[in-house]
Amino acid sequence: LNVVIMLAIYFIQGGASGDTSISQLVGIMSGAVTNTPGLGAAQQTYLQVNAEGYDVSQQMSMGYAAAYPLGVVGIILTMILIRKFFKIDTNAEIAEIEHDEKSSMLAPHIVSLRVTNRMVDGLSMKKLHTLISCDYVISRIEKPDGTVIIPKSEDVINYDDVCLVVCSQKDEEMFTRFIGPVIEKTWEREKGPVVSRRILVTKTEYNGTKLGSMRLHSAYNLNVTRVNRAGVDLVAGPNLRLQMGDRLTVVGKLDDINNLANRLGNSMKRLNEPNLITMFIGIFLGILVGSIPLQFPGMSVPMKLGLAGGPLVVAILIGAYGHKFHLVTYTNSSANLLLREMGICLFLASVGIAAGKDFFATVFNTQGALWVGYGFIITVVPLIVMGIIARAKFKMNYFSIIGMMSGGYTDPPALAYANKLANNDAPAVAYSTVYPLTMFMRVIAAQLVILFFV
C-alpha cells in the first residue's frame, strides 16, 4: 500500500513531468515509513544507474528528512485513532492477553497424575516414550511408600505411583486417559533429597547441542523439565537445541545439579560479555552478500541487497544455523540496544549532515510543504486500512495490532510508545514477527522503483 500510494501520487501530479520526481518520492516514502535502510539502498542503486546523480541522491535524503518527523507522529496518531474508532478498552485487551498466556496450549503445563491404568503397570520410561509421541517429561515419581525418584530410561512406573508430568496443556487429556486422573499434590522443592534448580547455559561448546544427546538421565540422574529462552518457557523435548543464555529447570539431587551447573557454565558474568567475533563475521559476510548482483529481466543494471539488506539476510541465517559453525549469537539486551541505538544515531547523523545544507530552503516552501503532506498520506492511509482489517475482520488484540504497525514501519519510537501503553510483551512479539520480512521488502521495493522508473 505504501508503494501503491507513492506511485499514485507520482502519476496524479504529472508523472515524469511533475514537480516531484520518482527519486524524491522514494526518499519521501522511506521517511514516511521511517525506514533508513530503504533510503540507503535506493541511493546506492541510483548512483549505480547514474554515476553523476549525486545531487539527486541528496534530494532523496531531503525528501526523507521532510517526511520522517510526521512519519513517526503519524504512526502514533493512527494507533490512537484505531483505539478511538473501535472504542477499545485497553484494560480489557491486557486481561485478554494475560488469559491467553495462562491458557496457552504450547507452553509447559505441569500436572500430577496417579497411575490407575493397569495396562501401563511395569512399563519403562523408554517404552512409555514409544507409546506417547508428544514432547513431555516425567520429572518425578512418588512410590506408594513415599519414596521420590528421578526416573531414568530403564525405570518403570507402577500402579498407584504418582507422576509429575511436564507437557503441553493440549496433551493433558492424552495422559489422563493413558495413565490416570489428575490429583492435587504439592511437591517439595527445597526439602528432602530431590530439589529443583535453574541452570544457565554459558559454555559455548553446548550452543546448538540437542538436549537428548547430553544423556542427563544416565550421566547425572537429572531431569530437565523446562527450558526458558528469552523469557519464554519451552517444553524440554529431546530434539530441542540449547542456546547460550538458556535457563534449564532441573530436578534431581543437589550434588548432581551442582555437577551439571559446573559443566554448563552457569555464569551470569559470561552472559554480560558480547560475542564480537560473530558480529564482525556477520557484518563481513553481510557486505559480501549485499554486493552480489541480482539480474532480473527488464532491468538495465543488476539489483543488490546493499549494505542494509545483505547484513539482514546474513543475520537471520546465522541466527538459525550459526551453531553448526560454532558461532554464538547470544547478545545481552543492553549490548543489543546500545548497538541498535548507535547504528540509528550514526545513520541519522550521516543523513542529516548530507541533507542539512539545503534542508530549510527545500522544506519551508510550497514544494516542501507538499512533500510533508505526501509523506503523511503515505504514512497514515495504509496503517488505517491495515488496522481496520486486523480489528474488524480478524479480531486481533489491539496491542498486537500496534506492535504490527511499529514493525511494519520498522519504527523503534512507535514500539516504545506501544510497549509503554501495553506494559506487556504483546507489541514486541508482533513487532519482531513482522520486522525481518518488512525490512527486506522495503529495501527491495525502494530499489525496484528506482530501477524501473529512472
Confirm whether 406 is domain-assigned: yes
Q: Which residues contact 105 (CB under 8 A, 6 or more apart)?
A: 168, 169, 170
Confirm whether 16 is domain-assigned: yes
Same-domain status, 325 and 425? no
The residue among 211, 241, 266 that closes a domain is 266
Contact yes or no for 211/236 (Cβ under 8 A): yes
The string of pLDDT tens digits covering residues 138-182 is 988 999 998 888 888 889 999 999 999 988 888 899 999 999 999
Question: 151: buried, middle or exposed (CB in 10 Å: 19+, 13-18, 0-12)?
Answer: buried
pLDDT by residue, tens only, the chain of 454 residues = 999 999 999 999 998 888 899 999 999 999 999 888 888 888 888 888 887 777 888 889 889 888 988 898 999 999 999 999 999 999 999 999 888 776 665 667 889 999 999 999 999 998 998 888 888 889 889 999 988 888 888 899 999 999 999 888 888 999 999 999 999 988 875 445 678 889 999 998 899 899 888 888 777 778 888 898 876 778 888 888 998 889 999 988 888 899 999 999 998 888 887 778 898 999 999 999 988 988 777 666 777 777 767 887 898 899 888 888 888 888 877 777 787 778 767 866 776 776 677 677 777 788 889 999 999 999 999 999 999 999 999 999 999 999 999 999 988 788 888 988 988 878 988 988 898 889 889 988 998 899 888 7
pLDDT of residue 57: 82
Same-domain status, 83 and 17? yes
Same-domain status, 350 and 449? yes
Confirm whether 105 is domain-assigned: no
Same-domain status, 21 and 71? yes
Same-domain status, 400 and 437? yes
Q: Quote the domain boundaries for residue 28.
A: 2-97+339-453
Q: How many domains does the chain have?
A: 4
Q: Pull the grid cell for residue 228.
A: 526458558
Confirm whether 75 is domain-assigned: yes
Contact yes or no for 119/180 (Cβ under 8 A): no
Confirm whether 142 is domain-assigned: yes
Confirm whether 195 is domain-assigned: no
pLDDT of residue 156: 93
The string of pLDDT tens digits covering residues 399-408 is 999 999 999 9
Contact yes or no for 126/189 (Cβ under 8 A): no
Same-domain status, 27 and 93? yes
Same-domain status, 409 and 441? yes
Same-domain status, 259 and 211? yes
80 residue type, one letter? I
The residue among 149, 180, 211 that closes a domain is 180
Q: Are strands 156-157 and 223-229 parallel, antiparallel or unpaired?
A: unpaired
Confirm whether 193 is domain-assigned: no
Same-domain status, 319 and 343? no
Same-domain status, 370 and 437? yes
Q: What is the 3-state secondary structure (H, E, C) of the chain?
A: CHHHHHHHHHHHCCHHHCCCCHHHHHHHHHHHCCCHHHHHHHHHHHHHHCCCCHHHHHHHHHHHHHHHHHHHHHHHHHHHHHHHHCCCCHHHHHHHHHHHHHCCCCCEEEEEEECCCHHHCCEEHHHHHHHCCCCEEEEEEECCCCCEECCCCCCEECCCCEEEEEEEHHHHHHHHHHCCCECCCCCCCCCCCCEEEEEEECCHHHCCCEHHHHCHHHHHCCEEEEEEECCEEEECCCCCECCCCCEEEEEECHHHHHHHHHHHECCHHHHCCCCHHHHHHHHHHHHHHHCCCECCCCCCCCECCHHHHHHHHHHHHHHHHHHHHCCCCCCCHHHHHHHHHHHHHHHHHHHHHHHHCCHHHHHCCHHHHHHHHHHHHHHHHHHHHHHHHHHHHCCCCHHHHHHHHHHHCCCHHHHHHHHHHHCCCHHHHHHHHHHHHHHHHHHHHHHHHHHHHC
Confirm whether 73 is domain-assigned: yes
Question: For residue 130, what is the domain's CATH number?
Answer: 3.30.70.1450
The residue among 266, 291, 308 that closes a domain is 266
Same-domain status, 378 and 446? yes
Same-domain status, 61 and 166? no
Contact yes or no for 287/314 (Cβ under 8 A): no
